[in-house]
Structure formats: structure tokens, C-alpha cells
Amino acid sequence: MTARGFARQAGAAAAGAIAPLGLAPLSIWPATLLSMAVLARLLYQSAHSYRLAFSYGAGLYLAGASWVYVSIASFGTLPAPLAALATLGFALFVALFFALPFALLPRLATSPGSFIAAFTALWLLGEWLRSWLLTGFPWLYAGYSLTELPLASYASLGGVYLLGALLAAAAATLALFPALGRRQRLGGGAAMALVVAAALPLDRIEWTEPSGAALTIALLQPDVDQAQKWSRSERMAILDQLESRSEPLWGSDLVVWPEAAVPAIAQSVPAFLARVDRRARAAGSALITGIPNYQAATASYYNSLLGLGLAEGLYNKARLVPFAEYIPLQSLLGPLLAVFELPMESMAYGDEQQPLLRVGDAKLASAICYEVVYPDLVARQAAGAGLLLTVSNDAWFNHTIAPAQHLQMARLRAREAAKPMIRATNNGISALIDRRGAIVASAPQYQPAVVRGTLQPRAGSTPFNRSGSWPVIVAALLVCAILAARQRRPQRFSRQTR
């Protein structure tokens, strides 16, 4: 590799590392736009699209998902050097798939204008690809940088994917502005101005409407030490704390305990569950708690949500966390991970289609921890629900940027559905979120706390709830197909002119 090539690779990696500055907790949104523009410019000037995109992806995930190291080093059994090596390997592995769509870029771009179209379509397809390939890792999507801006109103049309595509189009246009002709500059500028101008009227559209009575809600954030949570000697003390700290909350319409708040299989603590169920009913309250659950019909264990008191239903987690709740490619990776002595759980997948939890007449679309980062998964349930509910145990992230990123993704799910979101966690950030993604109430991190508030269930659905990501995915594929067909023409764009 030449010195110039190395400089470009380093520049791409640095640009990727800048992108997370636009996401939570800093939320300096121009940083993400600038980062994408640098990548677009580097790709435009080079024939080595895959290499540059890989370097960008490596920088993006090393910086934005650095919390992986903390999770492995703090709660795994690997020593620090091996944890660092595992984190590097993880970032490089995900970067392979980040770069994959951009390998097509030289086959699609025949002019500055077609480059902008191709970059936008491939960015969108890349984010979608990373949401399902090998179960997916839909983290650090560019569109989350717009959560606080009026442009987030486009999420109701095409979800976070559409937001990322708008950023990609703007970034590529800015990066190639000097190479565009006068008409293209005017057209690009007018298009960006139109998108920004339309955001406010779009934000005023009420896709959903109030349905039924508002619910008073109380979230318990127990802040149980992760090192003690699953200790048999600590189980009774944790259960006693759940009961005592919930006593002031009874009387609320809905009380929520976080993911796996009960540190035991449901079938092993029937007396505790029966006692809590009676207490909630006596107070006229619904209780939803996270709890592991065994089902004899499938002879499997599930990460579940259970309704007690006036709440009804059971939800089993449908998207599991790789290397935490299951081992992907177990026949290949199992022996290797056994050498590393990584702690593993063996949970089963819940069905993709499950009955919604109920609190009176209100239906709740549920997502346990990692599931809330999957836009289409939440959208499918949200269409028939009045409220969204997610529970999590972000203690695995420790004192990192991950809890803030996780909260930001939950906020955009509320935006996409135009319905309020309830988020209960073990140690933060627990919050009540309105239909526009704004935080109504929240609790401080790393301490026991309670979040109280009122949320109004809503009926109806947004275009994104009804169709999911398919319209924008199909549109991106059509753009790529049209550009590929144009490439077959005799006169092609020469990269030597760049």
C-alpha cells in the first residue's frame, strides 16, 4: 500500500470514529453528517471502495461500541489483553458487513450525480443488512443523530433507515458539491431545503389518536449488583427488596419491574409470584415484570415478561443477544469460546408473533432489552398496541456510553410508532417517553430509583408501522438496479477524472 493509500485508510477510520459523536450521549449531530461526507469524498476519489468502507466501519465500531470491552472484561472471564483482542475482533467482524454494500459502488457510479444516488442507496441497504445478517447488530445507525431534530418526523414514514438515507444523500451532496454542475448544485440544494422545510409540517401530522383512559405508571429501578444478581444466597434479599420498594407504588395503574428483575425461574418461586399477584390485585394495579421462564411444552427456557395483578399475558423474547443468550454458529464457535471460558446462557427464541400484553383495555407491544434496537420487530407489534414497553438490564454496559445509546434507540421507536414508550431498567436509564420521542420522566443511573408519570394509550398506526422498512428497501434496490443498467451503456464514467 502506498503512503497515499495508507493516509486514505487512516482518514476513513478517523471519520468512522467521529460518527458516534453525533449519537447519544453527546448528540453533536453535525459530527455524523461530517463523518459521512468525509467517507463519501474518499470513496469518490478512490477505486478501493471496499477497503475504505471497511476502515470507516472499523473506526465506527471501535469508537461507538467500545462498551463491548467493558462488558467482556467486567462480566466475562477473559483477562484485559484478551478482552481487548476480542473487542477488536468484534469491531473488525462487523466492519466486514458494513463495507459489503460499498463493494458495488464502482459498478453503479458513472457520474457525480449517480455517485450520490448510489452512496445513498448503499448506505440504506447496508444498515438494513446489518439488522438481520447473522441475527444482526443494528447499532450506531446514522439516523439516530437526528432524534432531537424536527427531521426525526420522517421516522414515521420510513423509520431510522429513511433518516440515515437522508443524511447519506446530504453528506454525499456536500462532499461532491465542487464536482457538480450548476444545475446539479441548484437541484441538490433545493432538494435539501425542501426536505428540511417539509419536516415541520410532517411533524404536525397526528398519525395516532388517544384511546381509552390515560394510565398512571410507576417504574421500579432496583439497581441490583450484577455480580450478586444470580447468587442463590442473595435471591431472598433481592425478592424482599422488590416487594418493599414496590409497596409505595401500588395503586398506580401499572407497575413495571425491569428485565429479569426476579432472579429465578418463574416455576421456582411460585409463592413469591402468588403473593405479589395478590398484593397488586388488592391495590387495583397491574404488574409487569421481567423473569426467566421455563415452558414444559418446548422443554426450553425463555427470557420473558409476565403480567401479574390486573395485567394479562406472557411474552417470550424473540431476538436473543449473541454470545450472551445463545452462541451463533455454535458448531464452529462453541469450542473456541469454551477455550476462552466465556459465560454463556442457553435461552430459546420466542415466537415472532405473540399475543400482546394487556393492562385493562390497553395493549402493550413488548421488547426485551436488545429487541428494541430492531425497528421492524417493534413496528410489527406497535401497529396493534396502544403503548410500547421495553425492559432492560443495562448493568452489563457498566459506566459506558451504551445505556444512553440504548435509550436513544427506544426514543426513536416511539417516534416511528407515534406512541408512548415505557422503559424500565435495572440501573438506568429508566424513562417514560411520549409519542414524539421526548422524555417525560427519567431516573438517574446507578442507584435505586422510581419513575412516575402518566401516559396516554393511542390508537392507529404510522406508515412505518403498517409497512415496515420494505418501501425504502425496495426503493434503494430499484435505484441500484437502474444505476447498474446504465453502467451497461458504452460510455462510462472514468475515475481518472476525479
pLDDT digits (tens, 9 = 90+) for 373-425: 999 999 999 999 999 999 999 988 889 999 999 999 999 999 999 999 999 99
* Co-location of 402 and 493 in the same domain: no
pLDDT at 74: 80
* Co-location of 193 and 263 in the same domain: no
Res. 343 pLDDT band, cuts 50 70 90: very low
Residues 254/218, Cβ–Cβ less than 8 Å: yes
State mean pLDDT over 262-272. 95
CB-facing half-sphere around the CA of 321: CA atoms within 13 A: 20
| Pairwise pLDDT comparison (145 vs 48), residue with the higher score | 145
* Co-location of 257 and 345 in the same domain: yes
| Number of structural domains in the chain | 2
pLDDT at 342: 43
Residues 258/221, Cβ–Cβ less than 8 Å: yes
pLDDT at 329: 55
| Pairwise pLDDT comparison (348 vs 340), residue with the higher score | 348
Cα–Cα distance, 186 to 264 (Å, whole number): 63
* Co-location of 139 and 168 in the same domain: yes
Least-confidence region, from 3-12, 245-254, 344-353, 394-403: 344-353
* Co-location of 298 and 359 in the same domain: yes
Active site residues: 259, 317, 369
State mean pLDDT over 107-128. 96
State mean pLDDT over 188-199. 95
CB crowding 190-226: b at 16 or more within 10 Å, else e: eeeeeeeeebeebbeeebbeebeeebbbbbbbbbbee
Which amino acid is it at 176? L
pLDDT at 90: 93
pLDDT(44) > 70: yes
- Strand 458-460 to strand 300-309: parallel, antiparallel, or no bridges (unpaired)? unpaired
The helix (run of H) or strand (run of E) holding residue 424 is: strand 421-425
* Co-location of 192 and 258 in the same domain: no
State mean pLDDT over 461-477. 97
Residue 343: CB atoms within 10 A of its CB come to 10
The predicted-structure confidence for 129-180, as pLDDT tens digits, reads as follows: 999 988 889 999 999 999 999 999 999 999 999 999 999 999 999 999 998 8
pLDDT at 340: 44
* Co-location of 161 and 279 in the same domain: no
Res. 497 pLDDT band, cuts 50 70 90: very low
Q: Please give the order of strands across the beta sheet that includes 439-442.
A: 311-312, 357-359, 362-368, 387-392, 421-425, 431-433, 439-442
Cα–Cα distance, 203 to 365 (Å, whole number): 23
CB crowding 24-50: b at 16 or more within 10 Å, else e: beebebebbbbbbbbbbbbbbebebbb
The domain that holds 400 is classified in CATH as: 3.60.110.10
* Co-location of 99 and 170 in the same domain: yes
* Co-location of 262 and 220 in the same domain: yes
Domain extent at residue 227: 208-461
* Co-location of 79 and 182 in the same domain: yes
* Co-location of 33 and 104 in the same domain: yes
* Co-location of 192 and 213 in the same domain: no
Full-model pTM: 0.93
Least-confidence region, from 103-107, 277-281, 319-323, 395-399: 319-323
Cα–Cα distance, 408 to 414 (Å, whole number): 10
